[in-house]
Amino acid sequence: MLNFADDNFELSHPMKGGGCLRDHYTKVWESSGVKPYQLDKFTIPFPVFYIWEWFIELHNARQYGMEGALAITYTEIKAWKDLMEHEATSQDIQIIKRLDLLAIKKR
């Protein structure tokens, strides 16, 4: 899952002139008919896909400071978990925190 996340964050990185790498590779695919390997390197196993979805929910609601994205706190995770009524385990939360650290490093 971390390999998938790393690639996903890399593909989402803004490019000079606008857009992101994912947009660029998608245009290459559309114009050439050949799918660039960068769009298909890693996948998330279905049994843990829910953790990625949960992370994206938290990531999209994250706070930003003067220096950019702030880490998702345990307090925010607890509030999200209670509001959304998710049955996240401590292992799920550890994975979400690792994904969060990776996301912040890639920004």
Q: What is the CA radius of gyration of the chain?
A: 16
Identify the pLDDT of residue 81: 97
What is the full per-residue pLDDT of the chain (107 aa) written as tens digits? 888 888 888 888 888 888 889 898 999 999 999 999 888 877 788 889 999 999 999 999 999 999 889 999 999 999 999 999 999 999 999 999 999 999 998 77
Phi-psi region of 100 (alpha: psi -120 to 50; beta: other; left: phi over 0): alpha
Determine the Cα–Cα distance for residues 91 and 31; give it in Å rounded to an integer. Answer: 43
Residue 71 is predicted with a pLDDT of 96
64, HSE (Cβ side, Cα atoms, 13 Å):
8
Cβ contacts of residue 7 below 8 Å, gap of 6+? 38, 41, 42
DSSP 38: G
Q: Return d(Cα 97, Cα 58) in angstroms, integer.
A: 10
